A = this chain, B = another copy of it.
Amino acid sequence: MEIEGAFGLVLKERRQAVGLSQLELANRSGLDRTFISMLERGQRRPTLNTIFSLAKELGVSPSGFVKEVEKYIAKNE
Q: Which chain B residues lie closer than 8 Å to A66 at the CB level?
A: 48, 51, 62-63, 66
User: How many Å lie between the Cα of A12 and that of B61 in the bound state?
Assistant: 23
In the complex, which of the residues A61, A66, A67 has the most CB atoms of chain B within 10 Å of its own CB atom?
Answer: A66
Nearest chain B CB to A31's CB is how many angstroms away? 14
Contact (Cβ within 8 A) A63 B70:
yes
Query: Most B CB atoms within 10 A — which of A7, A49, A63?
Result: A63
Residue A19 at the chain B interface, CB threshold 8 Å: no
Residue A33 interfacial (CB < 8 Å): no
CB closest chain-B residue, reference A51: B48
CA distance A63 to B55 in the complex (A): 13
A-to-B contact residues, CB < 8 Å: 3-4, 7, 45-49, 51-52, 61-64, 66-67, 69-70
